Each structure stands twice: as structure tokens, then as C-alpha cells.
Amino acid sequence: MHPLIAPSMLSADFARLADEADVVTGAPGEGADWLHIDVMDAHFVPNLTLGLPIVQSLLKATDVPLDCHLMIEDPDRWAPGYAEAGAYNVTVHVEAAHDPVALAKNLRAAGAKAGLSIKPGTPLEDHLDTLKHYDTLLIMSVEPGFGGQSFIPEVLDKVRTARRLVDTGHLTVLVEIDGGINSDTVEQAAEAGVDCFVAGSAVYGADDPLRAVQALRSQVVEADPKRWASA
């Protein structure tokens, strides 16, 4: 395993999404590991973004696994459709799910990894039993709903807790972080124990998005070389 970098297409050019996916792909092992797709419904969060038809189109345009982050109301109803379409990882918010355990089972049955996201102010400890049914824990390091926000360093305490629980075998989740990740913050997140780093403007705002992906991955490895040398 190496650090996973997931460019957020919220920061891409919506008129050229297939090209924007292609520009961060690169050779195997060199480019983006996942493409992070932010789905917002203007209800759970105030913004409105990409939905299932766009995801279905992107699945035909790229071989990079799609990491769909659903910031929506009633994910119990809508999330399985993303798994059925072929998304690799489908993440729902614990604050929105009615029955997150049943939802995780439904996502897996439909062929996707199941992810659970928590807002910056949501305590991790309240949801540890639920997380035993999930594959991915997405810790938000900004308030969900808008790109370009500043990183909230206090959430790293949750990352450290999750990393400790994974390392001791109490959880089996991949630890992902989303919000304000760039060259100034990625090392802090890496040292806290993140596995997968979502980066939006740090990638798509760069002159060379592919090199930006590679540079972030290098920073992660340099921040914790022991961990990644043994991975």
C-alpha cells in the first residue's frame, strides 16, 4: 500500500470532467488513486453539485476508481444507486443516515466499499460500533458543502484515535481526510495517520495537476517514512 491521493473534482472544470479525470491519471501507480466526487443536494448542505448521471458518465470515461462522497439527505434511499452504477467507494454522512448499519450492508451488496463520513463537530467515539460495518472512515477537516475552505487542525485528534484503533485491530477502516488538504497541511494529516488524502484546489489549481498529485504523495511518504516503507 502507498498513500492514496484522491483529487476532488469539485475543483475541476465541470465543462471538461472527462479531460480533468484524464489529466491526473498518469501511468499506473503514478497518478490519482481515486477520483473524489462530491455529491451535494442543496438540503443536507446548501450547495448543489454533481449527481448520479454525471457519475455514470465519468465511469465510462475513466478507469480511476470513483470515490463518491454523498452530502445528501436520505442516503439510505439514494446511495445504493451509486454503488450499483459502479462507484468503487460510496461514502455517506452518519449525520444523515437513518440506519447506517443496514446502509453499509446494502452498499457492499451492490458492489462498492462502504464509507462513513463525520463532520468536524461530530464525535468519533459515538460511532465506533457503526464503523465496524464500514470500509472507509472519511473525516471532514472543513464543514461539508463548499470547496476552498481552510483546514481545521483540531480534527486530527479524531484521525489519531482512528489510526490507533486500526493499528490495534479494533477497526478495519481506511482513514480518509477531506478539506483544506494542500502542501501546507498534508504532512500534518500524514503524521496523524491518514491513509487517503482528498485534495481539490491543491491539484486542479496547479499548473500541472498530475505533478501536484505526485508531490503530495511524496510529502506524505517523507512525513512518515517508516510507516510507508513497511506498507
Kindly report, residue by residue over 74-97, the tens digit of the pLDDT: 999 999 999 999 999 999 999 999
Q: What is the pLDDT of residues 4-21, one digit of tens each?
A: 999 999 999 999 999 999
pLDDT digits (tens, 9 = 90+) for 121-132: 999 999 999 999
Residue 42 is predicted with a pLDDT of 94
For residue 219, the Cα-to-chain-centroid distance in whole angstroms is 18
Whether 170 shows a pLDDT value over 90: the answer reads yes
Most distant pair of Cα atoms in the chain: their distance: 45
The predicted model gives 103-107 an average pLDDT of 98
Sequence spans of domains, the chain: 4-229
Give the dihedral of Cα atoms 78, 195, 27, 209; nearest 10 deg. 80
Position 145 pLDDT exceeds 90: no
pLDDT bin (cut points 50, 70, 90) of residue 1 is confident
Across the range 184-204, mean pLDDT stands at 97
pLDDT of residue 207: 97
User: Cell triple for residue 139?
Assistant: 473525516
Q: Is the pLDDT of residue 109 over 80?
A: yes
For the annotated binding site for substrate, the residues are: 8, 69, 145-148, 178-180, 200-201
| Confidence at residue 231, expressed as pLDDT on a 0 to 100 scale | 59
CATH 3.40.190.10 fits 4-229, yes or no: no
DSSP sequence for 184-199: TTHHHHHHHT-SEEEE
- Residues that are catalytic: 38, 178
Binding residue numbers for a divalent metal cation: 36, 38, 69, 178
pLDDT at residue 111 greater than cutoff 70: yes
**What are the beta bridge partners of residue 133?**
none
**Average pLDDT of the chain?**
96
Annotated binding site: 8, 36, 38, 69, 145-148, 178-180, 200-201
Residue range 176-191: mean pLDDT, rounded? 97
Q: Is 150 left (phi over 0), alpha (psi -120 to 50) or beta?
A: beta
Mean pLDDT of 172-190: 97
Task: Give pLDDT, residue 8.
Answer: 97
Q: Check whether 230 has a pLDDT greater than 70.
A: no
What are the contacts of 26-31 at 24+ separation with CB within 8 A? 26/210, 26/213, 26/214, 29/2, 30/210, 30/214, 31/64, 31/210, 31/213, 31/214
Confidence of residue 149 (pLDDT cuts 50, 70, 90): confident
> pLDDT of 35-65, one tens digit each?
999 999 999 999 999 999 999 999 999 999 9
